[in-house]
Copies of this chain bind each other. A is one copy, B any other.
């Protein structure tokens, strides 16, 4: 029943969208897992820049978390203005758009999504008007029970306009018997299962909420008198703000004229921070739970060197994803680091179809091996992860063409064998090469002379957070920190 509904909804097309949509980046990174969102919020911007300007800059810093659409909702004394558009932040907003987003509060969002449901209706923030007042919502994560909640709401007469979990939350708020909109929002949280980092804005409050297990990061910063919340600390740096602290799992932070107030809406039950934030998603200059991401990656490279026992002439990273680990690997192993592959600054989209002659066109457009470096060398090729294996195969092919004697691929994380249900785009299990092949089989299929993964223990040892934390490692070990009835593959 539900399926067909969803199906037809996804087909509702609003004309202006499709033209703008260029999933350039995700296309090129198709062999990586993909983050689903970044959120940003600011209260009381009082410098030269407006709340919307600072949000715009913050979203640029969070751009790696989502390239499909971008949106900002600003609030000037209770008057809400929303602008959202498909595409990168810089193309989604013209100068005029930012100027029109007046106000001393704003929240923003960047969204990644699989192409199937690419549409403006799914862009965030969403703005709802209820009898309780206006509410803007932006959300990073994935509700495990989103479909179930949606079914219940529709059975009771709710009409949905998007396929967003965020809209599910909005309907729960609208139907709550709580009159105060923030209380209604908090009450709604109790019905949600899964991972979410949520930023909300009422006429006079900025609210930041992290799910009880803390799947996705969310931090608080400060710039003069303004409070800021953002998915990652790199969004503070770009506007010159200081990191204050992370929002705790299960914490509700309410910021208003009287300052910042905190409460918990659930008891403590252990955290499950997504370990892939350290491996690939988060920006290297971000700190999560006190650990700098770049240094974690370098440490994973060192640990990988300790776990491997292989002789080689040079350590070559797949740029840019393998560089930090490769530098760590080279430092630990003593094998020289070499820029044997270059990443091109300009990468054209490939409407040109690959041909017999140029089968590996996508990789050719993106990466160039340097023959003079690679020729006749035993190469250790470093990357942070393999999801589908298609790109790795083409890269190794290019290196062998360039004359490498041997190519030993080394991955600075364990094999990804299980889909993620908490905010990453890996839900189709059959696409995960490690879910259906042994390491040897993968090695052969990508054309490597050998293939090595970092151990899970080695990976976890490389991350030094400032407080003791549990991690979600379900994509590696299938140990999902949530009731299995909510884990289903279909979207």
Contacts and interface: CB of A to CB of B under 8 A. Distances in A.
Contacts of A323: 339
A158 interface: yes
* Top-8 shortest CB links A-B: A16-B16, A157-B175, A48-B355, A63-B346, A60-B348, A90-B348, A285-B368, A95-B351
Interface string A333-358: 00011010010111111011001111
A174 interface: yes
A1 B131 contact: yes
Interface in A125-163: 127-131, 134, 151, 154-161
Given A12-B82, A47-B357, 7 more contacts: A11-B82, A12-B127, A14-B120, A15-B16, A67-B346, A88-B348, A128-B159
Contacts of A174: 154, 157-159
A292 B349 contact: no
A102 to B, nearest CB: 11
30 contacts: A8-B79, A8-B134, A9-B127, A11-B79, A12-B127, A13-B82, A14-B84, A15-B85, A16-B16, A47-B356, A48-B357, A49-B352, A49-B357, A57-B352, A61-B344, A63-B346, A63-B348, A90-B348, A131-B154, A157-B158, A157-B174, A237-B368, A283-B342, A283-B344, A285-B342, A285-B370, A292-B370, A294-B339, A295-B372, A320-B345
Interface of A: 1, 4-9, 11-17, 20, 25, 47-49, 53, 56-57, 60-61, 63-64, 67, 78-85, 88-90, 92, 94-95, 97-98, 100, 120, 127-131, 134, 151, 154-161, 170-171, 174-176, 223-224, 234, 237-240, 283-285, 287, 292, 294-295, 298, 320, 323-324, 327, 331, 336-337, 339, 342, 344-349, 351-352, 355-358, 361, 364-365, 368-373
A196 B453 CA distance: 51
A320 B348 CA distance: 19
Contacts of A292: 370-372
Contacts of A284: 339, 342, 370
A119 to B, nearest CB: 11
By CB atoms of chain B within 10 A, which of A151, A156, A176, A240 has the most?
A240
Count identical subunits in the complex: 4
Contacts of A89: 346, 348
A281 to B, nearest CB: 12
A84 B320 contact: no
Q: Is the interface of A mostly helix, strand, loop or mixed?
A: mixed
Contacts of A12: 80-82, 127
A61 to B, nearest CB: 8
A7 B76 CA distance: 13
A4 B158 contact: no
A129 to B, nearest CB: 4
Nearest to A50: B352
Nearest to A237: B368
